[in-house]
Amino acid sequence: MSPIVTLTLNPAIDQTVILDALEPGTVHRAQAVRSHAGGKGVNVACCLADWGLPVTATGILGADNAAPFTQVFAEKGIADRFVRIPGETRTNLKLLDRRTGDTTDINLPGLAVTADALGAARAALLDHAAGDAWIVLAGSLPGALPPETYAELAARLKARGARVVVDASGPPLATALAAGPEAVPFAVKPNRHELEEWAGRALPTPADVHSAARRLHGLGIPVVVVSLGAEGALFLTRAGAVQAQPPAIAVASTVGAGDALVAGLVAALEAGLDPDGTARLAVAFAAGKLTQAGASLPPRATVQALMQAVRTRTLA
């Protein structure tokens, strides 16, 4: 089995406030509040651990409030290789509107990450970058880090033979995609909005999304996945393209659904599934996470049942 490592340079404690209905400009009474150790790479690691895969999580945490992360890593059996630095990891607020099911995110600034801290995190990451490792570079970057950070890391990792999965947006994603063959990732997972940002135009139809995904694939990226929310996801590989639609489910929380999709993608790639199986498993991970309050999967049998209920079609 190949090593799996996730990197989260801008983690967060996700505090979800549950409201009957969100009405801007008014006073609200929260029905409940939940807190979870989060950040995209952390969420990916949690889902992979729930599926039963050994996974290592690294990145940068504030030492002053690292306890929630330490606890979840211990509970799920995730190898903790995070670098602790002085200060507090940010808290992100998520306002869940029960009436509509929508979540409004308020993301706070991250830690002031120094070059030394980044160097320590880079060293921890490269220590686990065996030749066949899956490395997930996920989430935003703290403001002090340049947008070229992921591109630089991807180049170092690829030089060691690791397979890099990038789930980012904006300049960090754009620079990773523009860095040339030495840094181009093995897989990327933009959502529709992120793909539109990269393409420089709106992508209102499935054909538009497919066309833009083919352009990404043409950069030398073997696997391109575009998450489309309730419409499922588009999967494009050397073996072809598959559109996958999740089954109808009762949604408990949308927080971390995209991260679960990435986790399912990595699990499918590690298992060597064909394009249809890859699409089914990845979307089943996301659908299963939607039924959970935090960044977790339901029992394996539930995910497997969801996998069989995912509708797929091959695209020309």
Spatial neighbors of 295 by CB under 8 A, at least 6 apart, are 14, 36, 38, 42, 43, 46, 47, 255, 256, 259, 260, 289
259 given a catalytic annotation: yes
112: alpha, beta or left? (left if phi > 0; alpha if psi -120 to 50) = beta
User: What is the maximum span of the chain, computed from C-alpha positions, in angstroms?
Assistant: 55
Spatial neighbors of 293 by CB under 8 A, at least 6 apart, are 16, 34, 36, 252, 253
What is the spatial distance between Cα 41 and Cα 309, in angstroms, rounded to a whole number? 27
CA angle 54, 242, 297 (to 5 degrees): 35
Q: Which of 14, 50, 167, 259 is catalytic?
A: 259
Residues belonging to the active site:
259
